[in-house]
Structure 1
Amino acid sequence: MRNCLRDLRRQRKLTQADLADALDISRQTIIAIEADKYDPSLPMAYRLAAFFKVPVEELFFNDWRER
């Protein structure tokens, strides 16, 4: 599963540490999600989407599905 987390984070001028602190998760988790090395749990995906005020489908997507 791919995501646009890095783009959203950078648009808001947040560091990975800023985002991790805001969501009470580790910076390493943010790094892994942004690198497509880790798919977050469904609750975490919804927390991230809510933080950025976007639908979860806009933040996370499959390559086979058009955006």
Structure 2
Amino acid sequence: MKNNIREIRKHLKLSQDEIAKYCGVSRQTVNAIENAKYDPTLHLAFKLASVLQVTVNELFIFEEN
């Protein structure tokens, strides 16, 4: 699953550490999600979307296999 987290985060001038603190996860988790090495739980996906002021659909790009 691809995502737009990095682009949106940079547009809002937020660091990975700031996003992580707002979401209650580590900076490494945010990095892994941005690099498509980890798929967040639905709960975390909604937290990320809320912090980044977008919808989950705007944040993630769902691809069919």
Per the alignment, residue 58 of structure 1 pairs with 58
Per the alignment, residue 28 of structure 2 pairs with 28
Counterparts of 2:53 and 2:18, CA distance in 1? 17
Could you tell me how far 1:49 is from its partner in structure 2?
0.8
Per the alignment, residue 11 of structure 1 pairs with 11
Percent of counterpart pairs with the same letter? 44
Amino acid at match of 1:62: F
Q: How many residues align?
A: 64
User: Taking CA–CA contacts closer than 8 Å with sequence separation of 6 or more, which of the two structures ends up with the larger relative contact order?
Assistant: 2
- The unaligned stretches of length 5 or more in structure 2 are none
Q: Which TM-score applies when normalising by structure 2? A: 0.89
Q: Which TM-score applies when normalising by structure 1? A: 0.87
- The unaligned stretches of length 5 or more in structure 1 are none
Q: Are the aligned partners of 2:19 and 2:48 in contact in 1 as well (CA < 8 Å)?
A: no
| Divergent runs of 4+, >2 A | none
